[in-house]
Amino acid sequence: MSTVEPLNTVEIERFISAVKNAENSRAKELRIDIQNAKTLAYTLGIVMARLNGDLEKLISQQSDNQTIEIKLDQGAGWG
């Protein structure tokens, strides 16, 4: 069984903090430099890919655990 690396969400947290600060100071816009934007985009991509993988794994596990029960009564009650 493989271990899952923890996600580094520091860039997302920084962005959320910057948005809160901008909102609190009633700023009309928020600017980030291209390097921070690239890092944020990369981090969001990693997080979304992980979530998608986790969802696929969950769906696969749910479909593997389904039990179908069939009872054969040789046609009793058909006539």
Q: Domains of the chain: which residue ranges? A: 10-53
DSSP, collapsed to helix, strand or coil, labels residue 16 as helix
CA–CA separation, 56 and 46 (whole Å): 15
What is the length of the chain? 79
- pLDDT of the residue at 78: 65
As averages over each run of 10 residues, the pLDDT of the chain (79 residues) reads 79 96 96 96 95 86 69 69
Per-residue model confidence (pLDDT) at position 59: 80
At residue 3, the pLDDT reads: 72
Please give the pLDDT value at position 65: 61
What pLDDT shows up at residue 64?
Answer: 62
